[in-house]
């Protein structure tokens, strides 16, 4: 398959908004390269259907330009790339990255040259699926997921209820995670026995992290068949294929027909989705139904202060959710939400 690479430079202060606009359409491939005062964005689309999606990108770019006129018109440099070239292009921008208290995200091609120390290595080859850990929205989601699993696993009677998450940790804004030494998965503490649903799993990074942190079973879903394939491969590389199931489809599909063996595990104790506010708003009813009463919903991929983000919070409030913990980094926002029992 041939892909088309679009390259455009934007002012650093507008880069987060511009990247969010591209992710709305691209989803499966966006590289970010910081330069002197600017950020170079590389987005990838398959040649088939390119014209329509290019038009959609232009529409979203115009919205960004209304807020950040300095981004200029939508006029990226476009060139054809072979599928193999795209996969290789990621490697220049992907290095080992510590996340939260216990995880170290390690590119698969650097695994033999990386000492994880006390951290749990999460081996990842993003291939052509979104989710490397390098992006702020993914890091924020990983931090909130780790903390939710820690709290639930250390209070088994509250696992799945969200009750273990009350207390000093709520609404800490951008506070850095704190706590004791790393705990290896399988020691019966963090995340033990907690079911997790990862919506829009991409590379599988969040689903795999949940399993490495002790959650089981874990289900990742994605509408992109490439992402489903990549996530399954990454789960196998990390030795958690027996705990992580990956399936194609949307939350609505999942409600209608859960994968084999999963009907008894839904709704999940923890649901996590790192997408965009606009997309999340459209699936919030389904996410609510797929998260058990008193459970935890983690949403990331939200552009801080954007109208879509405010609208999403209002929509969540109408469904009984409230933001118990709000984190920000590099212009992005992630929430841990709790919902009153019914």
Is 274 flagged in the annotation as binding?
Answer: yes
Is 200 flagged in the annotation as binding?
Answer: yes
Quote the tokens at residue 217: 């079973």
* Residue-level length of the chain: 342
Query: What is the distance between the alpha carbons of residues 148 and 137, in angstroms, rounded to a whole number?
Result: 17
Q: Is 207 helix (H, G, I), strand (E, B) or coil?
A: helix
Is 238 flagged in the annotation as binding?
Answer: no
Three state DSSP letters for 14-48: HHHHHHHHHHHHCCCCEEEEECCCEEEEEEEEECC
Query: What is the distance between the alpha carbons of residues 144 and 272, in angstroms, rounded to a whole number?
Result: 9
82: left (phi over 0), alpha (psi -120 to 50) or beta: beta
Query: What is the distance between the alpha carbons of residues 163 and 35, in angstroms, rounded to a whole number?
Result: 45
CB-facing half-sphere around the CA of 147: CA atoms within 13 A? 29
Is 132 flagged in the annotation as binding?
Answer: no
User: Residue 40's beta-bridge partner residues?
Assistant: 9, 33
Through-space distance between the first and last CA atoms of the chain, rounded to whole angstroms: 49
- Residues in binding site: 138, 200, 222, 274
- Residues in binding site for S-adenosyl-L-methionine: 138, 200, 222, 274
């Amino acid at each position: 398959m041939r892909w088309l690479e679009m390259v455009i430079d934007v002012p650093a202060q507008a880069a987060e908004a511009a990247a969010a606009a591209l992710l709305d359409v691209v989803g499966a491939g966006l590289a970010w390269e910081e330069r002197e005062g600017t950020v170079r964005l590389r987005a990838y689309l398959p040649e088939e259907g390119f014209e329509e999606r290019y038009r959609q990108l232009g529409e979203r770019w115009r919205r960004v330009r209304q807020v950040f006129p300095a981004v200029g018109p939508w006029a990226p440099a476009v060139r054809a790339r072979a599928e193999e070239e795209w996969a290789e292009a990621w490697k220049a921008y992907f290095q080992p990255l510590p996340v939260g208290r216990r995880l170290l995200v390690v590119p698969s091609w650097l695994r033999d040259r990386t000492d994880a120390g006390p951290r749990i290595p999460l081996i990842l080859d993003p291939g052509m699926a979104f989710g490397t850990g390098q992006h702020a929205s993914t890091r924020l989601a990983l931090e909130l997921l780790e903390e939710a699993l820690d709290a639930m696993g250390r209070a088994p009677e509250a696992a799945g209820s969200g009750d273990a998450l009350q207390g000093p940790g709520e609404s800490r804004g951008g506070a850095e995670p704190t706590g004791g030494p790393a705990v290896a998965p399988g020691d019966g503490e963090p995340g033990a026995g907690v079911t997790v649903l990862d919506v829009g799993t991409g590379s599988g990074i969040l689903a795999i992290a949940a399993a490495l942190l002790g959650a089981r079973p874990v289900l990742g879903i994605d509408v992109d068949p490439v992402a489903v394939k990549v996530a399954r491969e990454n789960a196998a590389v990390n030795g958690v294929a027996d705990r992580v199931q990956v399936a194609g489809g949307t939350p609505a599909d999942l409600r209608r027909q859960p994968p084999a063996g999963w009907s008894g595990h839904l709704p999940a104790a923890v649901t996590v989705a790192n997408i965009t506010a606009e997309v999340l708003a459209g699936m919030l009813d389904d996410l609510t139904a797929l998260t058990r009463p008193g459970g935890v919903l983690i949403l990331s991929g939200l552009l801080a202060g954007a109208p879509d983000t405010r609208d999403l919070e209002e929509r969540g409030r109408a469904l009984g959710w409230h933001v118990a913990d709000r984190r920000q980094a590099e212009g992005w926002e992630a929430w841990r939400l709790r919902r009153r029992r019914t």
